[in-house]
Each structure stands twice: as C-alpha cells, then as structure tokens.
Amino acid sequence: MADEDAQDTGAATTERGYDELGYEEARDALLEVVRRLEAGGTGLEESLALWERGEQLAKVCQRWLDGARARLDAALAAEEAAERSDGSAVNDRG
C-alpha cells in the first residue's frame, strides 16, 4: 500500500514531467510529499524517492514564483516609467 501511495504522489509528475506542472499542482504535490515524510513509516528507498521528488517540486514552485516576481517588477517599472514621462511632459509645459 505504501508503494501505491508513493506512486500516486508522483503520478502527475511522471505522466507529464515536472516542467509542465502549474504552481498550484506542484505546491499541492510538494505538500503531500512533506506530509508523507513527516508521518514516517516509509522505508529508506521510498523516503529517498519522496525527498528527490520533493526537491524537484520545490524547484518548479520556485521557478513559478521567480516568474511571477519578474512579471510584477516589469509591470511596476512600466508604470513608473509612464508616470515619469507624464510628469516630465507637464513640467516642460509649466
């Protein structure tokens, strides 16, 4: 049964690959891996496999978060640039 659970935890990642996971899906799978590791009762090989899966899922989550941060930074920079250009045009007229 424990082996079936380990396979269930990684089903989405083995079918599609880690890079194709959305943030929420990767986060939920990572939380399940952490829950299983914290619960104990798994053998060494299974624990190592879960740990490795968790590392990959954490990297996927971090890439999504980094991408979100970059998008926010770009949007804020564009907004600030627009405000500066609007402000300088008003000051040039005054």
| 37 vs 13, residue with greater confidence | 37
* Sequence-ordered list of residues with C-beta below 8 angstroms from that of 60, at least 6 positions apart, any chain: 18, 19, 21, 23, 26
* pLDDT tens by residue, 20-69: 999 999 999 999 999 999 999 999 999 999 999 999 999 999 999 999 99
Does 90 have pLDDT greater than 80? no
pLDDT of residue 75: 96
Does 6 have pLDDT greater than 70? no
Closest CA to 17 of 67, 48, 59: 59
Q: Is the pTM of this model over 0.85?
A: no
